[in-house]
Structure 1
């Protein structure tokens, strides 16, 4: 009888556990039943509609801000049709001054961006150094048995300075017969005669 009582007790406990698990499963099913596929579909459509409206509002707001910035920087459009020559000159001068100012601001901003990028790069290198992560440069593979100066030696051997010198013909620099003729005073002195200027001085 003792074994039968133990078996009955075990069966009773199993039945309680099974009943509890079934109750929990039924509760979950009841909760899941709240969101039917049709309701999910409607909810998705509503969320998409809401997101589209928000996106449209955001785009309109950005376009309005852009228009305000353009109006602020460029000013309102001028009436060029009925303007006189002096007025046109004044308008052109205003636009030139405004453009000059915008270009200088743009240059300053670009310089600031380049400076910040450089600083960020330097800080990244410093952080990597502190962490001990060094960025290894990519090295070119070179044979250790290859003569590194072979190419230079070959070029030097090919480039013979004596062969590269231009040969000069002697006749190019020889003086013509007319140019070889000596002046009269030189000839006179050679023959033993004194030139006329020397005689006059004597």
Structure 2
């Protein structure tokens, strides 16, 4: 009997432990569901409200424009200072001409002439170097494209088809107007009366009569023929 009671107590204890574990698991799942639901509600509220409101967008846009304007101004100042520095290096500082005599002025002019000649020679050298490098870059690009098997389509100039058609139509219209303006000339208006009479006589006599000169000219021909036969 004692063994049966012990087994029954052990079974009850196990059932209680299982029920307790199940209850705890249910509570944990319930808490997780509540937390998940609360997070979803918060995310939905944030999505509805939105972080970037129109006012914030406007302020951000103004700040970006202000920053871009400042950067652009600094870049322009830097380029101007660099340009001025290069000009001073190449051209030098202006000379003081107050109280200068003729010899000093000649020396200054000579120095300026030498400086100008040097600047022009350097300019020509730089332009030649730029053209040479552009040519080399173009050749390298062509070689790279040949290796890749790609063909660069050249940039074509856009030509309007309607302009060509309009020009052809204008040309045809001009030719048509020129032909219509020409007057038809009747040949009979410029014929003389004597020509008309001659034409009528020629039409009446299709074969003209033999003249005396023709007959006289025929006898010597026959005589010559007889002489040749003899």
Q: Could you state the TM-score of these two structures normalised by the residue count of structure 1? A: 0.50
User: What's 1:98 paired with?
Assistant: 115
Residue correspondences, number: 122
What aligned pairs does 1:30-109 form with structure 2 within 5 A after superposition?
A: 30=49, 32-33=50-51, 35-109=52-126
What aligned pairs does 1:136-175 form with structure 2 within 5 A after superposition?
A: none
| Cα 1:55–1:135 shift into 2, 3 Å | closer
Structure 1 alignment gaps of length 5 or more: 1-14, 138-202
Look at both structures and tell me which one has the larger radius of gyration over its CA atoms: 2
Structure 2 alignment gaps of length 5 or more: 1-32, 155-230
Name the Cα RMSD after superposition. Answer: 3.1
How far is 1:47 from its partner?
A: 2.1
Q: Greater helix percent: which structure? A: 2
- CA displacement, residues 134-175 of structure 1 (integer Å, 9 cap, x when unaligned): 5799xxxxxxxxxxxxxxxxxxxxxxxxxxxxxxxxxxxxxx
- Structure with more relative contact order (C-alpha pairs < 8 Å, separation 6 or more): 2
User: What's 1:27 paired with?
Assistant: 46
| Cα 1:129–1:39 shift into 2, 3 Å | closer
- CA displacement, residues 168-190 of structure 1 (integer Å, 9 cap, x when unaligned): xxxxxxxxxxxxxxxxxxxxxxx
